[in-house]
Structure 1
Amino acid sequence: MSTAGRFSPDGARFAIARDTFVEIYDSQTQSLLGRLDGHLLAVNDLSWSPCSRYVASAGDDFLVIVWSASTFKPLRTLRGHTQSIASVRFNYKGNLIVSTSIDENLRVWDVLQARCLTILAAHSEPVCAADFCFDSTLIVSGSYDGLVRLWDTQSGHCLKTLTGAQNNPLPVTFTRFTPNGQYVIVANIEGQIQVWDYVNTKIVMLFEAPPDKFTRSIGIHDRSLIIATSTGVRIHDISSGELKSELLFEGGALTADISADGTKILFAGPRGFEIRPFNPN
């Protein structure tokens, strides 16, 4: 069982979450380089620092642990959440981390000081995902309450709330800024994918993935969305929503990630993990 898989930003390695530990592999040879042991319960998510030197892991033990990717030793342990942590993400500078939890809160952390800077509490259900925009001034969060919220990172104020339906919005399972920071990608529990122009508070693209319990992970490369589904990975054009290709993976994919150079896709799911070549055309 692999609950999460992420390529390092430099493409040299990838990390796989398995049960209570994380494994680091060489991307070319797929040989195991080291193992990160420290969580007491299952690891749910991973994030690499932009410099590829550190890995953050989030678990059911309410902890975020920051590790050295070369020595495989824990460097910081971030404590404060009161229930399982669903997601974790470094910002693009590597000095901040945002984590989300079943406790309905987001926390923004100073990595160097291992200190919680802000608690963002404006959701009424578990918060499943969050992301920084490219300059770290904004955070987007998505929750099972069906709301996507935009936050000012420094002040912690909620600036805007996005919802695809006025009545009974569907639980949100994933949200992320596009690399250029112009749009927010949102997935809900029925597999619907929304592309939001969040400045003007409008959906500019809406398309359906196969019905699934959740879309847990979406990778973005140029104009392609790489979407983890119950059968594997579907690749859609981000502008038109057109299905470009579909890659099957036995047992389905819990997460899907694409290497920085756009040549490989990493699947992780109930049957383990796999890397396959990727051609966006």
Structure 2
Amino acid sequence: MNLSQEYNIEFGVPSWVRISPCQKYIACGTSTGYLYIISIEEKKILKFALIHTKGINDGVWSSDSKFIVTASDDKMACITETQELTVIRKLIGHRSKIFCVAISPDNSRIATGSKDTAFCIWDPRNSNSLSEIGGHTEPISSISFNYDGTLILTSSFDGIVRVWDSISLICLRTYIMEGHPITRSLFAPNSQFVTAFSTDNLGQLIEIKTGKVFRNFRGHVNSKYMVDAGYIHRNDNSDGELWVSSEDQKIHAWNVQSGEEIWQLDIGFDLAVANSTPDGSLFCVGGNIPGIVRLYTPK
């Protein structure tokens, strides 16, 4: 990949980055609670604001790119309007740090997962908590909706991945990863599989219906921290790609069909956060020495 743009983040270390669905902006949350908006077209930081009193752990854009939901160590999730970076809702109810957040494709529900081992479903229109579910025994490390919003995926340091019906909140499937803490889980684009990464340096592709492990992904380093991961499908004729941030200062990527590692991106700093567009046309990373955000494009 080619390094296209680089930005210095003044207030804190980048702890989360995400490219907007419209592919015009990058959002970056920091360890000090600041939220930055970067214009890809104008190649500059447009604005930044202090959103949380403690570090931001995760965040997500709405599907229309008009607002961002962030999750923080201050036990709150904030809904922020992106034009002026004005906080329009505060979601309060978790008893400890919020590690992860997701929003349904139609923007009607927000899901948050916390160190308190519970996940909550919220109505973004009024800040009300619709449900609180205690489906894990250790902190929840990641949470996501599938492509049509009918399923929710949670994973935890308890080594368990669960698939939930998003309306009834009944647990439909449970997968136990041999007791290793789960650092990231995500739905495959077709929602027939989930991928889970764990602290034994392993990624697994699991069929939702049967629980069968179809593929193992190895070569990256993941023994301590939560990681970022995503799927890329470059064109209709290509096999899908799966990438993950790694503790060896690299991004590793595999062919999903074969499990073969097909590329690496050497980023040169620790504790990287990362995100890509679904087609792989844009890839961004954030890191800590110094606080920077980089945007890459394919060669």
The interval holding the TM-score normalised by the smaller chain is over 0.9
Query: Does the 8 Å contact 1:232/1:253 carry over to 2?
Result: no
2:193 equivalent to 1:183: yes
Normalising by structure 1, what TM-score? Answer: 0.94
TM-superposed deviation, 1:215: 4.8
* CA–CA separation in structure 2 for the residues paired with 1:164 and 1:202: 12
Counterpart position of 2:255: 237
Which structure ranks higher in relative contact order (CA pairs < 8 Å, sequence separation ≥ 6)?
Answer: 2
TM-superposed deviation, 1:262: 2.2
2:126 equivalent to 1:126: no
Q: Secondary structure at the match of 2:41?
A: coil
1:16-46 per-residue CA deviation (whole Å, 9 max, x = no partner) reads 1122111000013331111132211111111
Divergent runs of 4+, >3 A? none
Unaligned 5+ segments in structure 1 are none
* CA–CA separation in structure 2 for the residues paired with 1:65 and 1:215: 21
Counterpart position of 1:137: 150
Matches within 5 A, 1:14-25: 14-18=26-30, 19-25=32-38
Q: Secondary structure at the match of 1:3?
A: strand
1:211 aligned to 202, 221, 225, which one? Answer: 221
TM-superposed deviation, 1:266: 0.5
2:179 equivalent to 1:161: no
Matches within 5 A, 1:51-130: 51-130=64-143
Query: Does the 8 Å contact 1:11/1:260 carry over to 2?
Result: no
1:225 aligned to 239, 242, 257, which one? Answer: 242
Query: Does the 8 Å contact 2:217/2:254 carry over to 1?
Result: no
Q: Which moved more, 1:62-71 or 1:28-37?
A: 28-37
Query: Does the 8 Å contact 1:233/1:253 carry over to 2?
Result: no
Matches within 5 A, 1:182-201: 182-201=192-211
2:212 aligned to 169, 194, 202, which one? Answer: 202
* CA–CA separation in structure 2 for the residues paired with 1:170 and 1:22: 32
* CA–CA separation in structure 2 for the residues paired with 1:147 and 1:201: 12
Counterpart position of 1:275: 295
* CA–CA separation in structure 2 for the residues paired with 1:48 and 1:184: 21
TM-superposed deviation, 1:171: 0.5
2:154 equivalent to 1:147: no
1:68-98 per-residue CA deviation (whole Å, 9 max, x = no partner) reads 1112101111001111110111111111111
TM-superposed deviation, 1:253: 4.6
Q: Secondary structure at the match of 2:14?
A: coil
Task: Supply the AA of the counterpart residue of 1:146.
Answer: G
Query: Does the 8 Å contact 1:4/1:46 carry over to 2?
Result: yes
1:189-216 per-residue CA deviation (whole Å, 9 max, x = no partner) reads 1221011101111111112133322351
1:133-167 per-residue CA deviation (whole Å, 9 max, x = no partner) reads 112121110000000011111112212211233xx
* CA–CA separation in structure 2 for the residues paired with 1:28 and 1:120: 41
Normalising by structure 2, what TM-score? Answer: 0.89
* CA–CA separation in structure 2 for the residues paired with 1:113 and 1:182: 33
1:255 aligned to 262, 270, 273, which one? Answer: 273
TM-superposed deviation, 1:270: 1.8
Identity of matched residues, %: 24
How many correspondences in the alignment? 276
Task: Supply the AA of the counterpart residue of 2:241.
Answer: S
Query: Does the 8 Å contact 2:185/2:196 carry over to 1?
Result: yes
* CA–CA separation in structure 2 for the residues paired with 1:208 and 1:214: 16
TM-superposed deviation, 1:260: 4.3
Unaligned 5+ segments in structure 2 are 1-12, 234-239
Q: Which moved more, 1:89-98 or 1:78-87?
A: 89-98
